[in-house]
Structure 1
Amino acid sequence: MKKYINKLFVLGSLLFLGTSCETENAEATTLKTVTFPANVEVSASTLVLTEDTQDDSVILFSWPAVKFPVGAPVNYTLQIDVIADITGPTAWQKSKRVEVGEDVLSKALLGKDLNKIAVDLGLLPNLAGKLVVRVEASLDHKVYSNPITLNITPYERSVVFGDIFMPGSYQGWSIETAAALTAIQKGVYQGYMTVPAGQGLGFKLNKERNWAQFYGAGATNSDLKDMSDTDFGLPGEGSYQIKVNLNTLKWTATPYAWGIVGPASATADQTAGDANYGWNHSVPMSYDHQAKTWKITTNLLAGALKFRLNDNWTVNYGPADPSTNTINLDNGGAYTIGEAGTYEVTFTINEVDPATTGYPATATCTIVKK
């Protein structure tokens, strides 16, 4: 019995000592004052950022090691903010955080990364502004360096104008006559094309009007893979807005067609008994990717005619002056077809990027009786 009691005493003592040590360690780490032994150093405090140096390391932050009472790795993070957001109850809560790592005592930033941070925090392109930077050291609790101020002039990313090309079954795989997709942002291209009835759906994407370098389908039909033998596939016959993003190596095809609408477009095929059939149903046009014009040759009745997008009135054009070939966005006017017959109708519009810049105030058209 005595031996058993001695064992219990020893065990209890060990448990007490363990608990006591844990308590003392916890107090040592969480209650002891920990500070940065020196200020953060920076390679340059004034920077004018440019696209020419966007892929270069433009700034280097470095700092001394912070010593916590417990010998464990310390995690460091940069916090970057504007002066207006580093005081008050929400101080630094809107800051941009750049993770550095455990026991890493320096961090370089590329020009494009610092530029994005500056612009995201509200600094205006081509104007000098101020950013404040501090380093966070974290173990069981967090401590911060004294902040430093940077004078940063960010740049505005320019649109690189140019084309990529889309040879495919729809036009006989001829790179010389393939549809061109025009740059609307850096690395982002947009264009239009029509798959005629009976044509195949495959295509590739080429950087030049040659086969020296091209993209085909990657892991999925939406993924671009350099020099892949697998064709991309369009959804089916019809007209599409094509967007290609070489930054993310993705592409999309969205059904997209301008059409004619009005009583003149309501041919003898209307049997629905709808008195407003012509105004309720657009006749889609096809895109001539070489002429960059929407076209249709069809039978028209005598009556009014105008243009709208995707069989919907959200985006439509009518002439402010029917004696001209200029048509105006959201104008209630219409052309008058005086005599029934076969007509060739064209619609030409300069769409830069409808998603961000909207549609132009005017477009042009022709209506010619054959």
Structure 2
Amino acid sequence: MKKHINKLFAVFAVALLGASCTDDGDLTTLSTVNFAGGIEASSTTIVIDADNNFQTVTTLSWQDVAFPVNAPVTYALEIDIPTDTLGANAWANAQRIEVGEAVLSKSFLGKDLNTIALALGLQYDTPGQLAVRAIATLDRAVYSKSIVLNVTPFELMMYMPGQYQGWNPETAARLRGIEEGIFQGYATFPEGQLEFKFTPKKNWDTFYGSTGGDGIAENDDDNLSVPAAGTYQITVNLNTLTYSAVPYAYGIIGTATPGGWDADTNMSYDHVAERWTYTGDLTPGALKFRLNDAWTINYGSANGESGELANGTVVLDNSGAHTIEESGNYTVTFAVDTPPATATYTVIKN
């Protein structure tokens, strides 16, 4: 009898072990998961220009990654400089583009790929390379092999010569293309220097002047203008032949500034360096940056920087502030980064 009981126990143990092995086969952590193939690109050599800036310049696609679990797989892309995809910090500075659940392709407009290329350090009108890999995520991240795109970025611009800078298209404020036919930029207009025109190139071969109100027309001799001295966000729409000028300025605020926490001290826009500047007196205390006299968009120091500083970083919506340690006359500069989660600033005592 004892012998039969032992046999039954052994059979039960084997059956239990077999069931455990079957269950383990469903665990994704015990299975190898990878991309069956690499990324395919509709075009690997892309020269971005005014003609394709708002058109699809390449489409990247890949095969579905089969995880053992029946659930939607989320895909993303990472884009980086090829030399930054090697070593201990490989892909650390990559631009990440979320693609979505069960989406197996991503198309890029010229302007979007242009923005990525410039953010990664490629130069205008100069061929460069971008490495791209796909990422599939379920219970873990799985990476495809990378491919290389040969990309030549460009700069789609309008220019705004005017009284504020001597009517010279070569040194005029630049308005960048934000949508097809729509350009936007910034300029500070001193008292008595309020008139300007638009040019598509750094010369007077073609220009846009005023037809009255917010209307513009090609080669119209009448000047455009802003209503009063100050800094403005200028938008020109060539689709509707209109323009707008909206008061717009970053300012400094805090106990170190002339207005304390009660009021901004507006900065001027340096259209050549493309950054905001303030030169004036500061006292010991806190200094932050905010847009248009409101806290909706503001930048603060995440690391508690103080004193004089070159190329410091402030963070969007951060509660911290830079500390001015000594009274004196200072030059402060500020420029929003791409992407705008951070900004670069300097504080130099004159």
Q: TM-score range by the shorter chain?
A: 0.5 to 0.7
Distance 1:222 1:350 in 2: 31
Distance 1:162 1:313 in 2: 32
The range that moved more, 157-166 or 278-287, is: 157-166
- For residues 320 and 156 of structure 1, do their structure 2 counterparts lie closer, same or farther at Cα, with a shift above 3 Å needed? closer
Structure 2 match to 1:339: 326
Are the equivalent residues in 1 in contact too, given 2:337–2:344 (CA < 8 A)? no
Structure 2 match to 1:360: 340
Are the equivalent residues in 1 in contact too, given 2:291–2:297 (CA < 8 A)? yes
- Deviation of 1:226 after TM superposition, in Å, equals 0.7
Q: Does 1:212 find its partner at 2:205?
A: yes
Q: Does 1:247 find its partner at 2:247?
A: no
Q: Does 1:301 find its partner at 2:288?
A: no
Distance 1:161 1:175 in 2: 16
Matched to 2:274, the amino acid is: K
Distance 1:236 1:290 in 2: 21
Distance 1:249 1:199 in 2: 26
- Any residues of structure 2 matched to 1:34-49 within 5 Å, and which? none
Q: Does 1:318 find its partner at 2:300?
A: yes
Structure 1 match to 2:256: 264
Matched to 1:296, the amino acid is: Y
- How many residue pairs are counted as aligned between the two chains? 206
**What secondary structure does 2:296 align onto?**
coil
TM-score by length of 1: 0.52
Are the equivalent residues in 1 in contact too, given 2:161–2:198 (CA < 8 A)? yes
Distance 2:182 2:299 in 1: 27
Structure 2 match to 1:171: 165
Structure 2 match to 1:192: 186
CA deviations 1:314-340 (Å, max 9, x no partner) are: 110001113370000000000110111
Are the equivalent residues in 1 in contact too, given 2:187–2:271 (CA < 8 A)? yes
Distance 1:278 1:332 in 2: 16
Distance 2:286 2:177 in 1: 37
- Deviation of 1:157 after TM superposition, in Å, equals 6.1
**What secondary structure does 1:313 align onto?**
coil
Q: Does 1:183 find its partner at 2:177?
A: yes
CA deviations 1:27-61 (Å, max 9, x no partner) are: xxxxxxxxxxxxxxxxxxxxxxxx98x9xxxxxxx
**What secondary structure does 1:170 align onto?**
helix
Identity %: 46
Which has the larger Rg?
1
Are the equivalent residues in 2 in contact too, given 1:158–1:185 (CA < 8 A)? no
Structure 1 residue ranges, 4+ long, deviating more than 2 angstroms after superposition:
155-161
Matched to 2:272, the amino acid is: Q
Are the equivalent residues in 2 in contact too, given 1:203–1:232 (CA < 8 A)? yes
Stretches of structure 1 lacking an aligned partner (at least 5 in a row)? 1-50, 55-123, 128-154, 267-276, 352-358
Q: What is the RMSD of the two structures over their aligned residues, measured on CA atoms?
A: 2.6
Stretches of structure 2 lacking an aligned partner (at least 5 in a row)? 1-50, 55-102, 112-153
Distance 1:327 1:242 in 2: 26
Distance 1:230 1:157 in 2: 36
TM-score by length of 2: 0.55
